[in-house]
Structure formats: C-alpha cells, structure tokens
Structure 1
C-alpha cells in the first residue's frame, strides 16, 4: 500500500520534472555563436518558413566562404550585406525623389527614403549588437528594420511603372528577414 502511494506520487510529478529539466538543460540542438557554419545548417536555416529559400539565402549556401565562418560571423556578414544593399536602395530612392516630376511619386519616394534611412540605421544597430555579443538584441533590431521597410514596400506596390524599385525593395525586405531569422538562432 505504501509502495503504490509513492509510485502514484512519483508518476504525478514526473511530467513536472520533465518540464523543469527541459527548461534548465539546454537543448542538444541549440547552437552557439562559435559553432561552425555547415551547408546542412544553412539549408536548414534557409528552409525556415519566413525565408523559404529566397535568392539571397540560396546565394549564401553557394558562396564558398560562408562555410568557413562561425555563426556569429555569418550573422555579421548577412547584416553587412543587408546594410550595403539598403544604402544602395536609399540612394536610388533619393535620386528618384529628386528627378521625378510627379508630385505623388515624389512624396512616395521621399517617404521610402526616410524608411530606408531608419531601416539601415536599425541594421547598423543589429550589427553593433552582434559585434558586442549582445545576441538577444540582434533579432529585435533586425526585426525593426523589417517592420520599417515593409511600409515602403506597401507604398511601392500601389504604384505603376516602378516594378524594378519594388523588386529591389522586396529583396531588401527579404534580406532583413534573413538577418532576423539567422540572428534569432544565436539566442535559441
């Protein structure tokens, strides 16, 4: 009788113990910033739902230097390329705003230029957090850039004859998304 009472009590708290142990012990699949990047890891990251194997992610998997990096350096590289591309798009938006004669387009381009300035600043912030090893703040900054640039994307989709700029904006948006997803791996 005493045995069944002990057995019953152990089995009743067993699920609680499993949950506590799961929280306390790190998962075997968790990654650290110093883990080496492999093709398998890149393929796994690029297959995550918000990314869905877009061109930039596919380029990363085929770029030979990528697999020579650790995760921290990979995130830094992704953020650096995103920042460079964002600055190129910012320059294009400023040029478009300066040269168009259509007042509606001018306003849209100027608003997008402001969005790009803010998004690039957020990406630079994500880079600073990554380099200072404040990994928990990197996805927040990358996500902020993604949120900011999404409004420009919405504005450009409504316009006619600007498909090339909408595509460039969409690519930047995807790069911000990759920076967000890749950097969130550093905190999982």
Structure 2
C-alpha cells in the first residue's frame, strides 16, 4: 500500500518538529537563570548597548555570579539609582555655587531632571522586585529619556565637567532597560 503525499510530507516534517520542541530557544531568558560570564557577555552585546566594555565593567563582580538574572536586573537598577542620586546632589551643588545665571538655571533644570529620572529608576526597581518585568524597561527608558534633555542642555555649554557623569548615568539606564527587556521577550 502506497503512502499518500500528505502522509509522506507529515513524516518528513516530523523530525524537524521534534527537534524544535526539545531545543531551547537561545534568546529566551528567565529571571531564575544563573548569571555567568557568558550570560553577561551575551546581554552586554545586545543593542542598543553601545559600549560592551562599560557594560561588562558595570555588571561584573564577585557578587554578580551568585545572582540570578532577576537579581542582576535589581543590582543594575540599584547602582543606577545610587549614581543618579550622586549626580542629583552634584547638580544641586553646582546650581548653588555657580555665579553664572545661565549655568545656574541649567543646573537647576538638570537637578529637576535627575529627581524625575531617579524616581523612574525607583519605579523600575519596584516593578523588578514585584516580578512585573514587562514594566521595568519602560521605567528605565523613561529615566533615560528624562536625563537626555539635561545632557542636551549641558552639551551646549563649554567647560562643564558634569557631562561625563550624565553619559555614565545614561549608559547605566540603558543597561537596566536592555537587561530587563530580555526577561519579557
């Protein structure tokens, strides 16, 4: 008895379907995945992270390897929050110590931006800790968007040293956004 063409096609596709169902997808991550050097390298290579070396430096430590991916996201957000508060404090100090009225106004506006950005990062932390990972990238991206306006204001000024600190904060926000977004893809 000859096999019909439909039956032959099913049997030829069957091995492929079995392989697909038992092979894990390499792009899927779970909050409980343990952090390894390979995982960090893979995460830091994801766009739009523009500086892999900075990303790896920012996230690698002896403590990191003991974490799972959810803990790594929380650690990155905590580092970002702390650094954002340091920048906020610096902006407030610059606003009170400068004698240039234009700089004073710019620093005051940047201080407000930092308050909003740090609040957004704190919101991202709340989402991460409650395992609402789909909301974390949005909050981290919001912080990045907010602080970008401060960066734009400072870029136009000469002899302003705090611009580097803004760039670092932006990169930290970006890392938090990318790392948390892999938990929802």
Query: TM-score, length-normalised on structure 1?
Result: 0.84
Q: Does residue 60 in structure 1 map to residue 59 in structure 2?
A: yes
> What is the alpha-carbon distance in structure 1 between the residues aligned to residue 134 and residue 167 of structure 2?
26
Q: Does 1:166 align with 2:146?
A: no
Equivalent positions of 1:1-188 (< 5 A) are 3=4, 6=6, 27-51=25-49, 52-61=51-60, 63-162=61-160, 164-188=161-185
More helix by share: 1
Gapped runs of 5+ residues in structure 1?
Answer: none
Distance 1:66 1:112 in 2: 32
Backbone CA RMSD of aligned residues: 2.3
Partners of 1:184 and 1:64 lie apart in 2 by 24
Aligned pair count reads 174
Residues 1:129 and 1:91: Cα distance change in structure 2 (over 3 Å): same
* Length-normalised TM-score, structure 2: 0.85
Task: List per-residue Cα deviations over 1:74-105 (Å, max 9, x = no partner).
Answer: 00000000000000000000111111111110
Alpha-carbon contact 1:57-1:178 (below 8 Å) kept: no
Measured after TM superposition, the shift of residue 27 of structure 1 is 3.2
